[in-house]
Amino acid sequence: MKSITINGSQRESVGKVATKALRNAGKVPCVVYGGDKNLHFSADELAFNKLVYTPNIYTVDIKLDDGTEVESIMQDIQFHPVTDKILHIDFYVLKKGREITLDIPVRTEGDSAGVKNGGNFRFTLRKISITAVPKNMPDFILLNISELEIGDGIHLNEIEKEAEFTFNHPEGAVVCQVLAPRAEIVEETGEGEEDAEKDAEGETPAEGESSSEAPANE
C-alpha cells in the first residue's frame, strides 16, 4: 500500500473549548487508537486532502513536532453536515503481523462483449471488505470484464489473489454482471401478457351463450 505523511502537533487539551478553537484555526482534531495509549493530535485541514478526497487507500505516517512518529491507517472521519468541513479523524496504529480490515475499491479493465451487444453493466460491489496484515493489503482489486457476455458475471470466489487476505463477503457474492437490455425484458414480458390475453379470450363464451347452465324453467 502507498503511504502519505501527516505533520501535526500533539494536543495537550482535548475538551470542547480547545477542540472548537482548533477548528476555528483551520485545524482538525485527531485521535490515534491501538497503541499503548491513545494519541491526541491536530494538523492543518489542507494536510488531509490527499488522504480524504481520493478513492485510494493509504497508510499514514503521523509525525508530530515533539518527535513522535506513528504508522497508522485512517479508521473513521466526521464531516460537518452543512459545510462538509472535516470535524474529526480517527486513526488506528499499524503493528507488524496484526491484521486490519479495510474496504478496498474495485476497478475494471477491458470492454465487455455483452455491453457491446446492448447489455447493461451492473457494478454490484464497488468496494470489497478485506482483512489482511498491512503488507498483504492490496491498493485495489482489478477485474478484466472483456469476456463477459449478456448474463455473465464475476463472483467473489472467481477473483485470483496475488497475496494472502480474506474477503469478508459470501463466496458467491456477485461483484459485477452484464444484464439483458431492459427493452428485451419488457418485450418478453409483453409477449407473455399477450398469450395470457389470448388464452383468456379463448375461454370467453360466444355471443348468446351462457358461461353456466341456465336454470330450468319452472
Give the residue numbers spanning the domain of 166.
101-182
What's the pLDDT band for 170 if we cut at 50, 70, 90? very high
Say if residue 91 is in the same domain as residue 106. Answer: no
In the predicted structure, residue 217 carries a pLDDT above the cut 90:
no
Strand order in the sheet with 153-155: 120-123, 174-179, 153-155
For residues 155 and 28, give the distance between their C-alpha atoms in angstroms, rounded to a whole number. 40
pLDDT tens-digit readout, 106-142: 999 999 999 999 999 999 999 999 999 988 999 999 9
> Which pTM was predicted?
0.70
For residues 110 and 144, give the distance between their C-alpha atoms in angstroms, rounded to a whole number. 6
**Residue the block writes with cell 474496504:** 103
Say if residue 57 is in the same domain as residue 22. Answer: yes
CATH at 134? 2.170.120.20
Say if residue 8 is in the same domain as residue 87. Answer: yes
pLDDT tens-digit readout, 174-184: 999 999 987 55
Residue 16, CA distances (Å) to 44, 67, 70, 85 in order: 18, 26, 25, 17
